[in-house]
Chain A
């Protein structure tokens, strides 16, 4: 009898697959895991379609209209059905990537933490051989790893589509490099914001201790943070400035523009247009435009990523302190 028991125990220990808190976290949140896998599949599928058949069809359509033969017609300015489908696909994928941080925040607030505190299952976990801090660490680390992995795949695919079809994009007049959601989806920001969503959600769950209020708080807080950081975005790297007698060309991410006086001072444009007397009266001798060229993509992207990750780290720190203050801690 004893031998049999020992054997089965040994067999149980040799079982493959995740163990301990990892298994527990994955099992308890299995439906969320499946949802994430499905979302990844849809996003990746759409992007791969756009990269392959979608782009091919758009080019074929464009070519069949004779737009590449130097015989431009009116039809070349507007996309055909294939180009529209291509554009919808990239917009869908970009939108999906842009939605992930909010989904992460809502889920982390409501299901990951809020519901567990509300229903008491968190207390059930803390009375196993698991401290509240380890419980929270697993709650954050496992989804964070899955978010990073999934977002890395989506971001890389998005970049692949983006870089391979810049001429198609110019032709059909799609979004510029600095426009959301492509800006985030082409770099590290999409992943950073997803992690911020997770951290803010977990903190909201700990604060609200109930699923529904935590969901609302998490989404609103993330939205507010995104607006604040988004406002800072153009100022995170030194701008380039163009000046001239006329307004310089509109290029890249434009930060500011206006008129210049003879002393070189920047003033707001009195809108004289060509009225010489008006110009003389205001001492306007030229115009300037501050902007970020496409080469500023990575510096801007990385500084903002750093800020977002610092905010996420702060939310995590506050969460752990809050949990430690409430529950008994080993001294």
Chain B
């Protein structure tokens, strides 16, 4: 078993007494040393999960360990970029980086932070309040990367970027993560931007884990099949089935041999996620080898 970046057992988070829980009985394990995508519709609990992992809030139920410790003990080793990229508007870019250096003594890497900023063609003396959304994202990312985190938590990092900036920043991020062996856990509802860059998937829906595991294993456990509308899908687990005229398209989890008359393909990440989002009642599938008793 590889090392663990984040492990949760019975994790629950409820805001206020009567509110619906943002997270409810979540159990999962995210291995260290890869890129994990946390996906789900709006309000699924992605941001809540990341801010719990960053030690910003306290769970109301269950437990969460980050890099094998409590989130508060590993603050120095974890980087976090919030969805709205908060920065001090009155500071310049250079001062923002100095702020990061002062608050991360012994860890800060000026070169990494400055390179991240320089790649975006930012004026170091420009005030944060004059920057565009994409430029702010770059500075926020520079602050997180300059800390040299072992685990980087990114909440919708690319949401406010144009496609070019998105591509550039994803490149910066993935190159840095690969170079330093950083574990990246990023949430997103734009599934397309994760294709090809993530190797672990955590799909949340309504505060619960829907799918969890290595991406390849999850994809391999599903088949996108097309057949005649009257074909029986038994005994396979059907995630989603749609009939169009006389044809039937379904995403299934095969349980045994399939009808050779069907056309079948391994789904793409997007097809897998969209089918699960469209079918909230689909059964949970977890391939992340959690030992419930061990946690």
Chain A residues within CB distance 8 Å of chain B? 5, 9, 12, 19-21, 23-24, 27-28, 30-31, 119-121, 123-131, 325-331
Query: B58 touching A326 by the CB < 8 A rule?
Result: yes
Query: B107 touching A23 by the CB < 8 A rule?
Result: no
Q: Which of B43-74 contact A (CB under 8 A)?
A: 51-52, 54-58, 70-73
Q: How far is the CB of A258 from chain B (nearest CB, A)?
A: 54
> Would A126 and B56 be within 8 Å (CB), given that A329-B72, A330-B70 are in contact?
yes
Query: B100 touching A327 by the CB < 8 A rule?
Result: no
Query: A328 touching B55 by the CB < 8 A rule?
Result: yes
Query: A327 touching B75 by the CB < 8 A rule?
Result: no
Once the chains are docked, how many angstroms separate the CA of A229 from the CA of B86?
Answer: 40
Instruction: Return the contact of A126 from the options B58, B75, B91, B105 (Cβ within 8 A).
Output: B75
> Would A19 and B102 be within 8 Å (CB), given that A28-B91, A126-B56 are in contact?
yes
- Interface stretch (choices B77-85, B117-125, B169-177, B218-226): B77-85
Q: How far is the CB of A320 from chain B (nearest CB, A)?
A: 14
Once the chains are docked, how many angstroms separate the CA of A130 from the CA of B54?
Answer: 12
Query: A121 touching B88 by the CB < 8 A rule?
Result: yes
Once the chains are docked, how many angstroms separate the CA of A129 from the CA of B105?
Answer: 8
11 pairs of residues in contact across A and B, judged by CB atoms under 8 Å: A24-B99, A27-B95, A31-B90, A120-B82, A127-B79, A128-B75, A128-B147, A129-B107, A327-B58, A328-B58, A329-B58
Once the chains are docked, how many angstroms separate the CA of A21 from the CA of B99?
Answer: 9
Centre residue among A9, A12, A128, A327 by max chain B CB count within 10 A = A128
Q: Looking at chain B, what size class is its interface with the partner chain? A: 35 or more
Query: B80 touching A330 by the CB < 8 A rule?
Result: no
Chain B residues within CB distance 8 Å of chain A? 51-52, 54-58, 70-73, 75-76, 78-80, 82, 84, 86-88, 90-91, 95, 98-100, 102-107, 110-111, 143, 147
Once the chains are docked, how many angstroms separate the CA of A21 from the CA of B105?
Answer: 10
Query: A326 touching B57 by the CB < 8 A rule?
Result: yes
Q: How far is the CB of A15 from chain B (nearest CB, A)?
A: 10
Once the chains are docked, how many angstroms separate the CA of A325 from the CA of B60?
Answer: 11
Once the chains are docked, how many angstroms separate the CA of A12 from the CA of B102?
Answer: 11
Query: A127 touching B58 by the CB < 8 A rule?
Result: no
Query: A124 touching B86 by the CB < 8 A rule?
Result: yes
> Would A123 and B58 be within 8 Å (CB), given that A129-B75, A129-B107, A330-B72 are in contact?
no
